[in-house]
A and B are shown apart, each in its own frame.
Chain A
Amino acid sequence: MKLSSSVFALLCLIFEIVSIALFLRGFFPVPVKSSFSAKSKLTDFPAEPHTGDGVNSSRAPAPLFRRVVLLLIDALRQDFVFGSDGRRFMPYTRHVLERGSSHSFTAKARPPTVTMPRIKALTTGSIPGFIDVVMNLNSPALLEDNLIWQAKSAGKRIIFYGDDTWVRLFPKHFMEHDGTTSFFVSDYTEVDNNVTRHLDGTLKRDDWDILILHYLGLDHIGHISGPHSSLIGPKLTEMDDIIKKIHSSLISKESEGTLPNLLVVCGDHGMSETGSHGGSSDAEINTPLVLISPAFRRKAGLEEPEVLEQVDLPPTLALALGLPVSQNSVGRLIPAVFEDSSLRDQLRLLQINGHQLSRLLRDSNPAFHKEDGYEQFRVAEKAHGSWMKLYMDGNTSEVLSNMGKKVLKQYLEALKAMSSALSRQLGNYDMYSMIMGMILILQVLVLLVLAMPEALSREAVVDVPLASSLLSLPFCLLCVLGSALHVLVCTSAGGPCYLCSLPWLLVFSVILFSSAFMCALGAMAMRRIPSSSKTPAKGCAWTLSELDTLLLIGTVGHTLSLASSSFIEEEHQTWYFLLNTLCLAVFQDVCRKYFREQRGRGEEMDGKYFRDPRGEEEDEDEKRASSGMSSRWEKWLALVTPLMTLACCRLLRALNHTGVQWAHLPDFGHWLNSGDHKPFLSVLSVLSLVLIFLLVQRHCSLVSKIALALGMLGVYSYRAAVGNVLFPWQHSSRTVSKGTVEARFVYVFVLGILFTGVKDLLRSQVMSSAGDSGRLKSRGLWEVYSGVVLLVALLFRAHNLPTLACCLLIQTIMAQFIWKKMHYDAAQTTIMHYWFGQAFFYFQGNSNNIGTVDISVGFVGLESYVEAPAVFLTALSTYAGPLLWACHLLCHLSSERDRAVMGLGHGSYCFALLRSIPVVFYVVLVTSLRYHLFIWSVFSPKLLYEAMHTLITTAVCLFFTFMDQERSARP
């Protein structure tokens, strides 16, 4: 089967995406779920031992509290309350903690420390899987059993004010609600006033049982200016006043004869030293949990807060309110809350919690008998039985209470063991799917490497002997072997495995395909071996220049660096480093070219032939013909270009600090966004937009130019409407809006420009004269490119517009003075573009942490959340860097007349290879490091990023193939 290089690369990438999807399916564990029934019921409670079979036997102990106020302060870090900040800014809370009747804990949130999964954890008690975050960016209604549902069906009246994620998660659950959107991260007063304005009225009323308040301001301050900002103090004081208000109101409502009230103050996650969250650093996972109620004993002083899991709160709250514990909760009771209840009640509550955990363990783990906790719980339940027998007999001696305490201890240990067993369960992998995915992806890489000489040849055609291998004997043998293995794996009782649950026909076709692939690989390898052994001299003639060596070392070195978690966290450093070295190498190349020229023509031509065996001289002649003045200018410009690129990169590097270790250092982006510097930001955005316009309009038609200019105006007015920048003739009277109209205005122009470009591309196909069609086609490509640029300009935050401008500037000057003049071949140019794309991915503020994905981009120009456009826009803006560089490569390669025929094929092949090498290495690495300490916090987010990047590259290759086909179809 003969394929052109671009089609070959595209097919490889598509195949790779499918294999990665299979691998991911096996890698990310399915959340622990109980299979028993949809929701827990009160009647599911186990019978209390030795109380007879009456109705009362399965009754829960009476509730402890009448009303609960849950005050959730987003991104409340542990030291904001317990540390020095707390002492300074939260005097009332500290007083209550030290002298009042309260309990304080440090609750550990599980990564990913993002608001939505944290809310899920706080209400269901389960630990949302990592994949949940990615799959549920839109947070649809929570169907799982949860505390809110339980409270509602028990007839409790719930009021909610705060982040509207809750309203989306629990539609129709609240008697009254007012959701504030976390849309405008730059606003940190309005979001909180929106909650507080309801507070006085609600606290006076008597018609509610549960009040939930979710304050977002602190989180927004963190995102804007970090945890040490001067804004944090006043915000904490504001929160302190709210706590004081609620607490005094609850106390004043307290009356004899009714149950006491409870105030819970907690954070959903912490805040890293940069003010972001999502990862698993101590500052992000440690949150305070404060329970205040007259039911508790008064404290003598502030004790070191006990450490517990965030998921321990929901079962505690449920049982304290007399509700069933949610089905999938993996948390355990907080014993301190119940320490004043009778021993019988305490044992009973622990029994209920343990029963629920043991049932969850039984349902989710086939080998539950081997778990220590399960056995311990059975023993404790027996001991509980004998204690109850004594108790019912009316024994009140010391023996009874001692024995009771022993049972209590046994229960607590059993709960702890079961809870940790369930959490550990999240680390179970579906090895069969993972290994299959890995084998497939390895096959793709081997195929790509084997095809390298053919794919990079002048013809750019790869011959894959697929048809002949279908008839061979090894193919049949492999098929039989594969089927036998599949049956063997699926019949042997292992963990749950995805491939076994697939229909038989599908699996068989996968086996067929994979075996055919294997045979084709074998045939190709056989073809290579004799040819290489026959002509060893040919290999030696293939010398590497310094630049080639650097590109090779860089690719290999970057791939190897993925093995270290620090290098993944700081991957941007690797790319900046490589990019700088690349610029210096290019600089050295330029110097060599122009300075040797001075020393004499003959020698210079020698060097020329050495570097470029194809000897493209036309443009050399052109240069000689042109005046000496312009060539001198050209020389200096060519010399300055790499240095200018270096300077641009250094500036961009200071714009957004990412990663982990140095991310907290103040960067220019924060400075611009800090409110006081709005005029600077406005001027900078205007300059960037003008520069972007000037750079991008050169190759477009007049209509597109006008559309582009209007689009740029639209981008600025959108930013002004959202409140990021100042509008010159409009003062602060303007209210902040969503800017929907402005954004849609820009979308219209983006679509218009894209439409013009595609129209030009199509028209170029039916043109008769080759020269005209070539020009039209190149114009069409540039128009598509400028449409993408305009869209990206709209999506980028205002402080990131210089990144886009620098990107275009570097592309322009590098193309003009380096790539066109230095005679780099298509493969070298592609690798350089890939490196630049990678570096720009990090320049725009991304990192290998899910937390840095800017989800608010998905709302640009939309009134409400619509999944498809939101996901598309988010992906586009996150991968804008690599995408723009790939687009530029396409435009650049097709504008080169002489080598365009195979240039596109080589380009897309190189893209596929460059993407496959790290992906394959990383997949193998992640499989072997699956029990690493950082697997969930560092390695898995990176895996998702790699998968997403491969998907984007596939889309780019599709476009490449499309352009390449058009050309080869032409006679």
Chain B
Amino acid sequence: MWDVEIRGMASAHAIIASSIFMATVMPAVLLENFSVYGTHMVWLYCVAGSVAVVNIAVFWLLGISPPTKKNTLSYKINRLSRSCLYFLLSCLFFHSVVVMYGAPLLESALETFSLAVLLSTLTTLRCLCILGPNVQAWIRVFSRDGAMSVWDTSLQITTGCSVIGAWLGAFPIPLDWDRPWQVWPISCTLGATTGFLTGLVAAPVWIHWHRKQLTYKLK
């Protein structure tokens, strides 16, 4: 039972991780003068888009999402619109947090917002896929000892890693090295992506390692 779930998660994570690689490699083949630094926004939205699509597809197929009680169309639309709203709100939230951290307010608002979109894709979108638009569940998962399944733990780990990655990514900005990746927000997006990938790798490993200690309450 355990091993099956962990293996399933590992393969799901592998698919998501490979989608990030594809999003980096494919445009380089298809588009002319594409580079991660030079046309950073293109890269960013490629990654965000592919991660979003793959996430939704994988979790739909695996059926991880909480079972819907009512199967009516209006309920589904309601859920969908609420998810969209939450996603937008989370983008705004990340944007304002980044501005609080000192990003210029007006000057490079587009870049800042793109960073917020990427962060939301890496964190909020996964929450929406796994937990659905249910704030109570989110609070439960992100409070101490609140995880109830392997997926909850993996969600905690990947979200934490992405945010910490973006946080660490801000460190090289004040250095006077004048490198292309020090331009706002490249180091942060790279940090977030790297953190996310690390989280994808770390989550199955960590769960496998600690499977003896992990005892989830039944749903």
Contacts and interface: CB of A to CB of B under 8 A. Distances in A.
A105 interface: no
The secondary-structure label for the interface of chain A is helix
B100 A570 contact: no
B143 interface: yes
B100 A580 contact: yes
Contacts of B177: 566
Contacts of B102: 573, 576-577, 580, 650, 653
B89 to A, nearest CB: 15
Nearest to A647: B100
B100 A566 contact: no
Contact of A581 (B105, B143, B167, B176): B167
Interface in B143-159: 143-144
B144 A592 contact: yes
Interface string B80-104: 0000000000000000010111100
B101 A592 contact: no
A595 B139 contact: yes
Nearest to A653: B102
Interface string A642-663: 0000110110011000011100
Interface string B167-181: 100100111110000
Contacts of A591: 139
Given A576-B102, A607-B144, A647-B100, A566 B167 contact: no
A566 B143 contact: no
A319 B173 CA distance: 51
A610 B139 CA distance: 19
Contact of A577 (B101, B105, B175, B176): B101
Interface residues of B, number: 17
Interface string A546-586: 00000000000000000010110110011011001100100
- B99, B144, B167: residue with the most chain A Cβ atoms closer than 10 Å: B144
Contacts of A660: 176
Given A577-B101, A646-B100, A650-B100, A567 B143 contact: no
A596 interface: yes
A650 B98 CA distance: 11
A580 B166 CA distance: 14
Nearest to A592: B143
Contacts of A599: 140
Nearest to B105: A654
Contact of A567 (B101, B144, B174): B174
Contacts of B173: 573
B100 A595 contact: no
Contacts of B140: 599
A573 B174 contact: yes
B172 to A, nearest CB: 9
Contact of B101 (A564, A580, A647): A580
A550 B140 CA distance: 22
B97 A584 contact: yes
Contacts of A647: 100
Contacts of A650: 99-100, 102
- B102, B139, B174: residue with the most chain A Cβ atoms closer than 10 Å: B174
A573 B170 CA distance: 10
Contacts of B170: 577
Contacts of B100: 580, 646-647, 649-650
Contact of B175 (A566, A607, A646, A659): A566
Interface in B161-201: 167, 170, 173-177
Contacts of B176: 566, 569, 660-661
Nearest to A662: B174
Contacts of B99: 650
B159 to A, nearest CB: 13
A661 B178 CA distance: 11
A595 B136 CA distance: 9
Contacts of B143: 592, 595-596
Nearest to A643: B100
Nearest to A654: B105
A661 B174 contact: yes
Contacts of A581: 167
Interface string A364-395: 00000000000000000000000000000000
A661 B144 CA distance: 41
B117 to A, nearest CB: 20
B160 to A, nearest CB: 10
B217 to A, nearest CB: 12
A276 B142 CA distance: 48
A649 B97 CA distance: 12
A596 to B, nearest CB: 6
Nearest to B174: A570
Interface of B: 97, 99-102, 105, 139-140, 143-144, 167, 170, 173-177
5 contacts: A566-B177, A569-B174, A573-B174, A580-B101, A650-B102
- Going nearest first, the 8 A-B pairs with the smallest beta carbon separation are A570-B174, A566-B175, A646-B100, A566-B176, A573-B174, A580-B101, A650-B100, A595-B139
Given A567-B174, A659-B174, 17 more contacts: A566-B177, A569-B174, A569-B176, A570-B174, A574-B174, A577-B102, A580-B100, A592-B143, A595-B143, A607-B144, A646-B100, A649-B100, A650-B99, A653-B102, A654-B105, A660-B176, A661-B176
